[in-house]
Amino acid sequence: MQFKKEKYIRIGSNNKKLSEFPEKERLLWEKLSSINYEEKIAISNINQEELFNLLDISSYYSLLKKNIPEMNTKVISDFLREKYILESKNNMEYNITNLGALLFAKDIENFKNLARKSIRVIKYKGKNKVNIERQQIGRKGYACGFLGLIKYVNNLIPRTTEITEDIRKEYIDYSPKILRELIANAIIHQDFSKTGTEVLIEFFDDRIDITNPGQPLIEPKMFYGLHRSRNESLAYHMRKFGFCEELGSGLVRIIDIAEKEGRIPPKYLTTEEFTKVTIYSHKDFDSMNTEDIMNITYFHCCYKYDEGNYMTNNSLRERFKVPDEKYTKISKLLKEAINEGLIKNGPKKTYIPFWAKH
């Protein structure tokens, strides 16, 4: 509300001057604005030469498997169509949108308001954050830098080598396919209104954490098969370049890989400020904690239901790779999952996700 040209906001039972709460004022204007974050201007009134120096034009055409046009006017036309740039009011000058900068910046630091939207990768020595072994901050846009980021991250994945009867086998501790999908999801679903934060990928001795700013729009247990993105344009272009799956299929693909490779599904932690996804290397059933077991049980149930099938005691034993003798233990586990509200009884001694219909 406004009184004598002073704007006020209600906090609790009191009215406070809006000017005293700049962060709340910024968020309020974000919500009231009809222009979304991707459409806003990152840098304005630049000429063609400056535009080509700031954006990685060649990457755009390379990702589309096309040759760079010989005429600069064609490049400008393509980028206007994609809404990476807009025509300025000044003749022969352009504005770069946040979308264009986020995807194709040669150096994100050249865009003052986007400087903290880069991606940081940190590898720690041990299971906590005390000792940093190495770290890298991405300076390129999400599209032109994505393949390089994935290559860098994959090189950090630990490998376990086993030699039996003169046969050398290498086991990759984490699935590169799952990691790639989770990183793409973190980029797409971040809340750009959260300032001073970035997408963070952290390697520990026993896990990998991927954190993005903002709370998810959907409760994590409902991620499976559902879609709601706060950055629709960014998501569209990341899919267009083949960096992630179709709408709503990201977690479906991740669980499909986890089931087929016997991996532990990701664990989600959400707060008002951030969303953290954690993946672990291989664990035997006996070394899993209750949270791990419930997580696998729920997503195995989702996986079977998505196949047009049902989870059973037998299918869950196979998922955990435990012998038939553990039938009773698995039965108790299934009852616990029902009590936790994760699954419910299906037809004829089968189980379905809590949200599913018979």
SS3 272: coil
Overall fold of domain 285-353: Arc Repressor Mutant, subunit A (1.10.10)
DSSP state of 311: B
Q: What is the pLDDT of residue 80?
A: 98
In 12-63, the DSSP E strands lie at 14-17, 41-46
pLDDT in tens, the chain (358 residues): 444 456 666 666 667 776 666 656 555 655 544 468 999 999 999 999 999 999 999 999 999 999 999 999 999 999 999 999 999 998 889 999 999 999 999 999 999 999 889 999 999 999 999 999 999 999 999 999 999 999 999 999 998 887 777 777 788 899 999 999 999 999 999 999 998 889 999 999 999 999 999 998 888 777 776 667 789 999 999 999 999 865 556 788 899 999 999 999 999 999 989 999 999 988 889 999 999 999 999 999 999 999 999 999 999 999 999 999 999 999 999 999 999 999 999 999 999 999 998 7
What are the backbone angles phi and psi of residue 350, rounded to the nearest 5°? Answer: -120, 175
189 token code pair: 């679903």
Please give the structure tokens belonging to residue 338. 């029902």
Residue type, 269: L
Domain with CATH 3.30.565.60 in the chain: 118-280
Residue pointed to by tokens 């986020």:
102
What is the structure's pLDDT at 316? 98
- C-beta of residue 11 within 8 angstroms of C-beta of residue 55: no
What is the token pair recorded at 27? 């968020």
Spatial CB neighbours of 143, under 8 Å, sequence gap ≥ 6: 59, 60, 63, 103, 104, 237, 238, 241, 243
**What three-state secondary structure class fits 279?**
strand
pLDDT the model gives residue 45: 97
What is the model's pLDDT at position 3?
42
CATH, domain 118-280, list 2.40.440.10, 3.30.565.60, 3.40.50.620, 3.40.640.10 = 3.30.565.60
From the list 203, 192, 225, the residue with the least C-alpha distance to 278 is 203
Residue ranges of the chain assigned to CATH 1.10.10? 285-353
